[in-house]
Amino acid sequence: MRYDPIDPELFVRNRRRLTALMKPGSLAVIHANDVMPTNADGTLPFRQNADLFHLTGIDQEETVLLLFPDAGDPRDREIVFVKETSELIAVWDGRKLSREEAKRLSGAGRSEWTDAFDGIFQRLVSEATAIYLLTNEHPRAATPVETRNDRFIKSCRERFPLHRLERLAPLTRRLRVFKDEIELEQIRRACAVTEAGFRRVLGFIRPGVGEWEIEAEYLHEFVRNRSRGFAYSPIVGGGANACVLHYLENHAVCGDGELVLMDVGAEWAGWASDMTRTVPVNGRFTDRQRAVYDAVLRVFRGAFQLLRPGRTPLDYQREVIALMERELVGLGLLTTEEVKAQDEDKKAVKRYFMHGTSHHIGLDVHDVCPPGEPFAPGMVLTVEPGIYIRDETLGIRLENTVVVGEEKNIDLMADIPIEAEEIEDLMRSRTPV
């Protein structure tokens, strides 16, 4: 692995917290994600199930975690199963974890080969009163592809029809919404790599460069710094493309006088960062661009202050919308009369700011959270307001990754340039082509 080993105490604590939430007499099983096929004999890069990684630190296919805190034999209370390796596998695909390495990485008391899972599970399930199983319950999830966990649920219903099946997702998202200090360190590393990428592209962007070339500059810097790359598909949109919220083609040439919006983030050890910056392609904002930029930056600053413990996401978004309304009136995009006369269900502001201001971030860039959960210390979220004026082919978004603190928030991207003057100064000092 490219990244430094993670202290296994994180995974020990996570499992301890999870078993404390489980009902008496129950066991839990979580399977790894599948290696997904492409065409012919091709496969996509493996991406581990985030809940399994959060509980074990094992980033390998065909891994299984079994937790049975009330098992009669203490050796049966926590077992990690990993794929048995062989000389053939080592030659073709590289070596896999040994059982001892799996124990060391996860801090688990016992490890076995995955082939032993069925027999051990068959024996232990007879002692259990309920089985906790995992599904993807993210509110925006679209899961047409059946996972190993889905297949296991079907198997349990057929083989053990009288056992009670329990939902594991509400418990794991309760754990993952609060970040341990070891987790925060991984996110800080991801943010630092993202900063390196941004500073690199500030010296590269100029009229005539392709959006794909900017993407490549980020990727170069991310991988050079031992990241596996982007935490999510990068958005690099110049001119009108900046007004497409999920623009992913990155195939246009950046023109003189345009802005380029870059929504990118590096991954580190499985944890994501998320940053958006919008910069002038020629290194200088026009007066109109600067006015809109400064308006977005003021909303960003205001939202950062509003993102405080005890405030609900719904109330927070309402307050940010109020900030944005004032800025849009000041920019001449809305009138005071429009704002006063608007329908609460059809806010006029949504013509120019149509997305949420913050989302949780962690092992997933849109990380899990209990529905409607008020903000609390230890949560990590983005702050990302934007203004999109399609008639002017002008789109500006600014975004940082932020830790909600007890006394004050911590901006994990505070060192990444965001003030217009600093960005212009850095772009002015770039080396001519």
Q: Does the annotation count 355 as an active-site position?
A: yes
Order of all β-strands in the sheet with 400-403: 380-383, 400-403, 410-411
Query: Catalytic: which of 217, 258, 399, 424?
Result: 399
Q: Does the annotation count 390 as an active-site position?
A: no
Note whether 211 and 236 are within 8 A (CB).
yes
Q: Does the annotation count 274 as an active-site position?
A: yes
Query: Catalytic: which of 195, 263, 327, 367?
Result: 263
Note whether 403 and 382 are within 8 A (CB).
no
Query: Catalytic: which of 100, 158, 181, 246?
Result: 246
Query: Catalytic: which of 34, 258, 274, 364?
Result: 274
Query: Catalytic: which of 51, 78, 388, 424?
Result: 388
Residue 192's alpha-carbon distances to 183, 227, 421, in angstroms, are 14, 11, 22
- Residues 95, 98, 102, 105: what is their CA dihedral angle, to the nearest 10 degrees? -60
Q: Does the annotation count 366 as an active-site position?
A: yes
Query: Catalytic: which of 359, 360, 367, 424?
Result: 359
Q: Hey, is 249 helix, strand or coil?
A: coil
Query: Catalytic: which of 110, 366, 373, 411?
Result: 366
Q: Does the annotation count 251 as an active-site position?
A: no
Angle formed at CA 240 by CA 281 and CA 207, multiple of 5 degrees:
20
Query: Catalytic: which of 76, 185, 364, 384?
Result: 384
Q: Does the annotation count 397 as an active-site position?
A: yes
Query: Catalytic: which of 75, 157, 159, 355?
Result: 355
Q: Hey, is 345 helix, strand or coil?
A: coil
Q: Does the annotation count 399 as an active-site position?
A: yes
Query: Catalytic: which of 221, 258, 397, 424?
Result: 397
Residues 113-144: b if buried by 16+ CB within 10 A, e if exposed:
ebeebeebbeebbeebebbbbbeeeeeeeeee
Q: Could you write out the three-class secondary structure of 166-178?
A: EECHHHHHHHHCC
Q: Does the annotation count 41 as an active-site position?
A: yes
Residue 294 — φ and ψ, nearest 5°?
A: -65, -35
Q: From start to end of 45-129, where are the E strands?
A: 64-67, 78-82, 110-113
Q: Hey, is 129 helix, strand or coil?
A: coil
Q: Does the annotation count 31 as an active-site position?
A: no
Q: Which residues are catalytic?
A: 41, 246, 263, 274, 355, 359, 366, 384, 388, 397, 399
